[in-house]
Amino acid sequence: MSRMVLYSHGNKTNDEKTHYELVNLLGGNLESIGYVPSTPESVNFFESIKKHYTGLGFKTVKCFDIHNSFGNNGLSELLSCSAIHLSAGNPIYLSSRLKQLGLNSHLVKYCEEGGIIIGNSGGSMQVTRSVNLYKLFCDGLEKVIKEYDDLLALGLVNFEFLPHYNLHKEEFIALVQQYTIWLDITVYGCADGGAIIIDNKKLKFIGETYKIKSGEIMRIK
């Protein structure tokens, strides 16, 4: 069983439906949630995240700063949470840190055994096949094709996620189309306010969402 909530931008007014779906997915188990910052700077957003989740009914919201002191006790506490939130921010930085700490296998097991992973923007990219779309945005198609295996992520789903679809220029979307052809990859894109709910391999789309496969773009909602 794998259950995930992938936000494009979790702080939009029209994310309310996704918040409701998250609470429903938890089945009332709002005991605790662990916030994992993507970068050292992302720790600064914890108080606003705590306020948000407390407002949804979570009893305990705790920050697990994996960029400073984070040992076995912290890992055990994180994995005991009802849900884990992977924050927005640079997904390549977060992916590298998770690998350095050997956390990937723990997060995969956590999710497969019933824990819920919530991603926001770059954090959402982390649960997919790879975070190479971020590199595509920065470095272009040729380099991504050559170095694709360097940025493999948790692989809990067999697609890749493109947040902030509404903010990308046509030139970049055209690159994503080529990316799906050359690497035989399916990409789901969400505009801010959109999200994907994953419940045991079943996908539910909220807000403005797109599927890009074999170079073709299909609007889902």
Q: What is the pLDDT of residues 122-180, one digit of tens each?
A: 999 999 999 999 999 888 899 999 999 999 999 999 999 999 999 999 999 999 999 99
pLDDT along the chain (221 residues), means of 10: 87 81 88 93 91 92 88 88 94 94 95 94 95 91 92 95 94 95 96 93 93 96 79
Helix intervals (H) in the chain: 16-26, 46-56, 72-79, 91-100, 104-112, 122-125, 132-139, 141-146, 170-182
Find out whether 209 and 26 touch, Cβ atoms under 8 Å.
no
Domain span holding position 91: 3-219
How far apart, in Å, are the Cα atoms of 211 and each of 2, 10, 17? 21, 20, 21
Report CA-CA distances (Å) from 217 to 85, 173, 180, 189, 197: 29, 9, 10, 10, 20
pTM for this structure?
0.94
Helix axes 46-56, 16-26, angle to 10 degrees: 70
Q: Based on the structure, what is the number of domains in the chain?
A: 1
- CATH number of the domain that residue 14 is part of: 3.40.50.880
Residue 172 pLDDT: 94
Q: What is the pLDDT of residue 70?
A: 78
Interatomic CA distance for residues 31 and 69, integer angstroms: 24
What pLDDT is recorded for position 5? Answer: 95
Query: How many Cβ atoms are within 10 Å of 101's Cβ, its own excluded?
Result: 15
Q: Are 163 and 122 in contact (CB under 8 A)?
A: yes
- Angle (nearest 5°) at CA 133 between 132 and 137: 115
**C-beta of residue 198 within 8 angstroms of C-beta of residue 4:** yes
